[in-house]
Amino acid sequence: MARSIFGWDYPPGCNSVPGDEPDPPCEVCCNAIDCICPECPICGAYGDPLCYIEHGLRRTWQQKMDYVVNQRQWEMAARDDNLSWDRYLGEAESIFDEPL
């Protein structure tokens, strides 16, 4: 790979160093960074939904609320993105006078 004054030139579609992606959100509380899930006393895992089914852990009120709040925020962000794209396509159709 060639080097530029701004750092490495990555191939098309690659925005960062492979492996540098942020961790996905927790499957139990949906918090991306500050997971509030306790350690499972049986297997030692954090935020594993199977521990709540098989190992007897119980979700706290805070875990339930964080899950609902984060899910709603993602739904609202997706709805806003869809509205933006619909508006963009409507403007593009009016410019070219034909449906896209």
Model pTM above 0.85 = no
Smallest CA-to-CA distance from 25 within 70, 56, 60 is with: 70
Q: Which pLDDT score, from 0 to 100, does residue 94 have? A: 75
Q: Is 36 within 8 Å of 74 (Cβ atoms)?
A: no
pLDDT given at position 73: 92
Spell out the per-residue pLDDT of the chain, length 100, in tens: 455 566 666 666 666 666 666 678 888 998 887 889 999 999 988 888 999 999 999 999 999 999 999 999 989 999 999 888 888 888 777 777 665 5
- pLDDT (0 to 100) of residue 69: 93
How many beta carbons lie within 10 A of that of residue 46, not counting itself? 14
